[in-house]
Structure 1
Amino acid sequence: MSFTDRIAQGLESGWNVTDGATLTENQTVEADVVIVGTGAGGGTTAEILAKSGLSVILVEEGRLYYQKDFKMDELTSYGNLYQEAMSRTTKDGAIAILQGRCVGGSTTVNWTSSFRTPEATLNYWGQRFGLEALSPEAMAPWFEGREVRHSISPWDMEPNLNNDVLRQGCEKLGYSWQIIPRNVKGCWNLGYCGMGCPTNAKQGALLTTIPGALDHNARLFHGLRAERLVMNQDRIEALQATAMASDGITPTDVQVTLKAKHFVVAASAIGSPGLLLRSGLPDPYERLGKRTFLHPVNASVAQMPKRVDPFYGSPQSVYSDEFNRRNGVGHNDADHAVGYKLEVPPLHPAMFAGVVPGHGDTQAKDFAHLPWMQSVIALLSDGFHENSPGGTVSLRDDGSPMLDYPITDYLWKGLRHAFYTMAEIQFAAGAERVRLMHLDSDWYSSWADAKAAIDNLAMVPHKVRLFTAHQMGGCGMGNNPKESVVNGFGEHHHVSNLSVHDASVFPTSIGANPQLSVYALAARNSVRLAQRLQK
């Protein structure tokens, strides 16, 4: 471990950090800007605004966990660091949603893959949503700036075998592949990124922009749930928030009122629409919570002849855009199949148990082979086709947000094609047997057998094991208020002092892991916001 921990140091030096669980009476606090959420968008915004001299308050429902808390233990980490203790799903339970709930948000628990928004996606946004100002050329300096800030560069160590199988299979079949850029500095190559980095190598918001903001007198409330924004005419007057008990999930009776000149919502593609819906903000064209995208993910698992140890080493270091590019990210033609990006997930025991079908003796036999297991995942690029309209965020009776995401026939067809691709790649790389993450799938010992089985698998919810770590949309941006919630700078069309700075503003998915896209867009929009507020 590093000898100096950035968070411990800052707390000792007197950062203004308040744990909601310690509050015993109601209070009102004021600042120039209140930011809801401390992930990629909230952290970036806080640092830029605080450095510009504005007073900033950060609000995080999750708790502050840092190096001392990251024990490389799955069950504790999933319970502490993820939304709904990693049991969040879509409304019908068919898609598992992996999403951070802690200071730093999902940047604290992601697998560090950092891609620029594909040029085809940015060009499509310009053509379809009037966002020509977000052209690849205009965004390039913002990507470059965030790559420096978060130490993003292509992984320079040998891929672990789990990832190298994807490379080997692609090479055998003539498919393109590349090395993944990662936001790490001095990485120990342990492989436990999803449980919080125990060596402080991961350069997410927790160790970069959040400390940067706190060093410039920002104030952080963690364990504080944003309940609703209170309107007065066309402006927000205050944020009403509830303190959470030390368990992180039980609300207390303590209420905190936060007043500001400007409010930035960066609470995720599920949390941000949820907050705006709870607040009853103007939504004359009913766009709020609509067009929410997930990069729906399916997977296959292979047993390899050599020991893989898929729980060790950089979780993701090799990817292929062969079928993203071939199928057309950014194309809306009727003939275009959905594109999908191929990556590799780590297989830790609890995650393996949750993803691979089976229980009892069947599961025990599979677990005995875990060190020889390898997996490939396909991330579908949703939102570019009329038959991929995304999902809808709405509120449960208790006010908490939920996502309804129907899988259309168009997407089911893409998921079936992805099964073919993943199994073929694994057999090409020497797999002894392959199983699709589908309840009706057996283990198949040849590509021909796997292909015949995939032909006949029922592509229906709950049979296909689906999950997502990428939530996008719900507060989509665009020039036309009739089909969007915010403009290209994240400024709300109908509320004069409200901005949204997270992946919820994406009008489609992006066809790549989203954290760098959020960093760059939030940086661009925060610089403009700082200039606007200083005037």
Structure 2
Amino acid sequence: MSSLNDPIKDGLQRGWKVLGGALGAIPEKIVCDVAIIGSGAGAGISAELLAKAGLQVVIVEEGPLKSSSDFNQLESEAYPALYQESAARKTADKAINILQGRCVGGSTTVNWTSSFRTPASTLKFWQDRFSLAGYTETALAPYFAQAEQRLNIATWQMAPNENNALLGRGARKLGIHAEPIARNVKGCWNLGSCGLGCPTNAKQSMLVTTIPAALDLGAQLLTETRAERFELANGRVTSLICRNIKSNGALAQSASTHEATKIIAKHYVLAGGAINSPAVLLRSGAPDPHGRLGSRTFLHPVVMSSSIFDQKVEAWSGAPQSIYTDHFLQTQPIDGAMGYKLEAPPLHPLIFASTVPGFGQGQHDLLSSFPHNHTLLALLRDGFHDEAPGGQVKLRSDGSAELDYPLGDYIMQGARRALLSMMEIQFAAGARQVLPLHEMAVPYTSWAQAREAVLALPMKPRLVKMVSAHVMGGCGLAGSARQGVTRPDGVHWQLDNLSIHDGSIFPTSIGANPQLSVYGAVNRLAQGLAKTLTGRDVALA
């Protein structure tokens, strides 16, 4: 792998303006046209477009700058270096483990490449419930198309690995439609280690696309730099206060004379991701007259079913997610019983061992079967029902962010139905045993036995194993200040030189992996912002 070109190292040698950590001390004061907080999906798209419009852009990223030379397909290196809280971020009650990126490129550097446009049913709900008349399929289509072209998003053409093929085979046997997933890759080696950073630069993340494009246009990148808070006056942001941190997230003990950096910009773009973006505003004492800030934060709570097959599955190898089914989203009204999307995640030893239940001999047997293991996951579609209002971002006593996400009966009954659906598909595909990930479950050897057992299991937080890699909401878009934090054009309702350009603007969950929804929506918002600030029309290359 080391013989491959490293576009990040090449850019640094060409003279990119990058500071922070080992890359150089950050000055006490920076003045620019636009300061962008974050470097993930929304930040990257915004940075390229605003730099292209001729604006002086500064990108502030809490995490380190890592590149393909650093990506060794090792969980022990990737989780502490590339993820929030070393891939152990959790909801307040510890019931849900949350995977979020914390590095240049954000979650796009470590996601599994699954790319879906925002479903029509989701957009219709936003139009009807949040007065977002302009958020239609037709209006967004050209912006999605531009993002898809820019990031090489296309349906995966290679045959699925066995892990994904089993989902397709089991679904077909039950008369359930399943189809391929689009992926943002170019020259993919089909390694399967997308979640650990792409060692071949095939994944078209912000790390290798929009952030380098912005830097080539003169943007400045501050790494290992935490955006602490805005200073506010008269309905505007007057400055952004940042702190230098270590690569592990701890505050750096700087030898310089200043402990903080102040960035003064004409306009600010908050794109730190749901959880972190609301937290910046909370730390800033941002106006919140209707109590919307940090509320309606959604996760797509994920439940899983683990199975063992006679043949080897080797779920760590090959494109991580290439087959899905929306059957269980489409078979009931969007605001009816909780729907869910089914996908087949990749498996790696550490994250597998820390997720499956059991101990002693039972755990030994399960881990011994790892090459034969096939797991399905269900993304529960939260945010469309009165009993799924999402969570609330709050601040701990030290100012760090925490998500309180209650798990009520409505969600838990959706989780039970999802476990049943996944187990039935796995048995239909030929599994010899299936284990729903629940602390009180045991391996089951027939669908009838499994169905009876899961119908009787208590569905309670921390008994049901739940994870999530999709965080949305908390700074929701709405057509009125009473309903949301952010205007339809992405500008904060009460702060007229602050835009919010990330997944925190979604008024509900997406009901699909959200990265392309961020790319499409923010592409539109950032083009509009560039036009407002400069009078220039720009588009993604």
Alignment TM class, shorter chain as reference: over 0.9
Residue 237 (structure 1) shift? 0.8
Cα distance in 2, alignment partners of residues 192 and 246 from structure 1: 22
In 2: Cα distance, 1:88 partner to 1:244 partner: 18
Offset of residue 234 of structure 1: 1.1
SS of the aligned residue for 1:281 comes to coil
Matched, 1:125 2:130: no
Q: Deviations over 1:39-73 (max 9, x none)?
A: 00000000000011000000000000001110000
> 1:9/1:285 Cα in 2 relative to 1: closer, same or farther (>3 Å)?
same
Residue ranges of structure 1 left out of the alignment (5+ in a row)? none
Aligned to 1:479: 479
Contact 1:21 1:246 in 2 (8 A): no
SS in 1 for 2:274: helix
Is 1:405–2:405 an aligned residue pair? Answer: yes
Give the match for residue 152 of structure 1. Answer: 153
Within 5 Å, which residues of 2 pair with 1:191-206? Answer: 191-206=192-207
Structure 1 contact 63–248 (Cα < 8 Å) conserved: no
Query: Do residues 3 (structure 1) and 4 (structure 2) align?
Result: yes
The answer on whether the counterparts of 1:242 and 1:252 sit within 8 Å (CA) in structure 2 is: no
- How far apart, CA to CA, are the structure 2 residues paired with 1:68 and 1:301? 33
Q: Deviations over 1:308-338 (max 9, x none)?
A: 011111110000000011123xx33xxx211
Instruction: Give yes or no for contact 2:230–2:281 (8 Å, CA) kept in 1.
Output: yes
What per-residue deviation string (whole Å, max 9, x for no partner) do you get for residues 199-230 of structure 1?
11000100100001001000000000001000
Q: Is the 8 A contact 1:191 1:314 kept in 2?
A: yes
Equivalence map 1:216-365=2 (5 Å) = 216-253=217-254, 254-328=259-333, 331-332=334-335, 336-365=336-365
**Distance (Å, rounded) in 1 between the aligned partners of 2:102 and 2:210:** 17
* Partner deviation per Cα, 1:474-520 (whole Å, 9 max, x = no partner): 00000110110001121100001000000000000010000001011
Q: 1:360 & 1:421 partners in 2: Cα distance?
A: 29
- Aligned AA (2:151): H
Q: Is the 8 A contact 1:116 1:517 kept in 2?
A: yes
The residue that corresponds to 1:105 in the other structure is 106
**Which residue matches 1:450?**
450
Once residues 182 and 24 of structure 1 are traced to their aligned partners in structure 2, the CA distance between those partners, rounded to angstroms, is 37
Amino acid at match of 1:511: G
Offset at 1:248?
4.2
CA shift for structure 1 position 146: 0.3
Q: Per-residue deviation at 1:355?
A: 1.0
Counting only pairs closer than 5 Å after superposition, residues 53-68 of structure 1 correspond to structure 2 as 53-68=54-69
Q: How does 1:12-91 map to 2 (within 5 A)?
A: 12-20=13-21, 27-91=28-92
Amino acid at match of 2:16: W
* 1:136-164 C-alpha deviation (Å, 9 max, x unpaired): 01111111100001110011111011111
After superposition, the C-alpha distances for 1:118-138 in whole angstroms (9 at most, x for unaligned) are: 011111111111111110011
Query: Residue 264 of structure 1: CA displacement?
Result: 0.3
CA apart distance, 1:245? 2.8
Identical columns (%): 50
Partner amino acid for 1:292?
T
Q: How does 1:361-400 map to 2 (within 5 A)?
A: 361-400=361-400
Who is 1:529 aligned against?
529
Q: Which amino acid aligns with 1:471?
A: V
1:248 and 1:283 mapped to 2: Cα distance?
Answer: 28
Q: Is the 8 A contact 1:239 1:257 kept in 2?
A: yes
Secondary structure class of the residue paired with 2:351: helix
| Whole-angstrom distance in 2 between the partners of 1:21 and 1:283 | 38
Q: Retained in 1: the 8 A contact 2:80–2:248?
A: no
Match of 1:466 in 2: 466
Structure 2 CA distance for aligned equivalents of residues 410 and 487 of structure 1: 30
Contact 1:21–1:245 (CA<8 Å) still a contact in 2? no
Query: CA-to-partner distance for each residue in 1:338-365, whole Å, 9 max, x for gaps?
Result: 1100001111100110111122332222
CA shift digits 1:168-213 (9 cap, x unpaired): 0110000011100000001111111100001110001001000010
Question: How far apart are the structure 2 equivalents of 1:258 and 1:37?
Answer: 14
Is the 8 Å Cα contact of residues 25 and 255 (structure 1) preserved in structure 2? no
1: CA distance between counterparts of 2:174 and 2:103? 42
How far off its partner does 1:76 sit?
1.2
Q: CA deviation at 1:251?
A: 3.2
Give the structure 1 partner of residue 538 of structure 2.
Answer: none
Partner of 2:426: 426
CA distance in structure 1 between the aligned counterparts of 2:239 and 2:279, rounded to whole angstroms: 17
Which residue identity does 2:120 align to in structure 1? Answer: E
Letter in 2 for 1:141: P
**Paired residues of 2:243 and 2:251 also in contact (CA < 8 A):** no
* Paired letter, 2:418: A
Instruction: Assess if the C-alpha contact under 8 Å between 2:477 and 2:507 holds in 1.
Output: yes
CA distance in 2, matches of 1:477, 1:521: 11
C-alpha separation between the residues in 1 aligned to 2:217 and 2:286? 31
1:246 Cα offset (Å): 4.7
Q: CA deviation at 1:23?
A: 5.3
- Give the 3-state SS of the residue equivalent to 1:174 in structure 2: coil
The answer as to whether partners of 2:89 and 2:99 remain within 8 angstroms in 1 is: yes
- Is the CA contact (8 Å cut-off) linking 2:20 and 2:26 kept in structure 1? no
Q: 1:19 Cα deviation (Å)? A: 1.7
User: Is 1:501–2:501 an aligned residue pair?
Assistant: yes
> Shift of the alpha carbon at 1:367?
1.3
* Amino acid corresponding to residue 89 of structure 1 in structure 2: K
Structure 1, residues 89-143: CA drift from partner, whole Å, max 9, x if none? Answer: 0000000000000000000000000000001111111111111111001111111
Residues 281-330 of structure 1, C-alpha deviations (whole Å, 9 max, x = no match) = 111111000000000000000101111011111110000000011123xx
Contact kept, 8 Å, 1:21 with 1:243, in 2: the verdict is no
Say whether the 8 Å CA contact 1:23–1:243 is kept in structure 2.
Answer: no
- Aligned to 1:205, the other structure's residue is in SS state coil
Separation in 1, partners of 2:326, 2:534: 43
- Structure 2 counterpart of 1:401, one-letter code: A
Q: Distance in 1 between matches of 2:141 and 2:26?
A: 47
CA RMSD of aligned residues (A): 1.1
Structure 1 residues 147 and 25: CA distance shift in structure 2, 3 A: closer
Match of 2:539 in 1: none
Cα distance in 2 for partners of 1:176, 1:490 equals 36
Q: 1:502 and 1:359, CA in 2 relative to 1: closer, same or farther beyond 3 A?
A: same
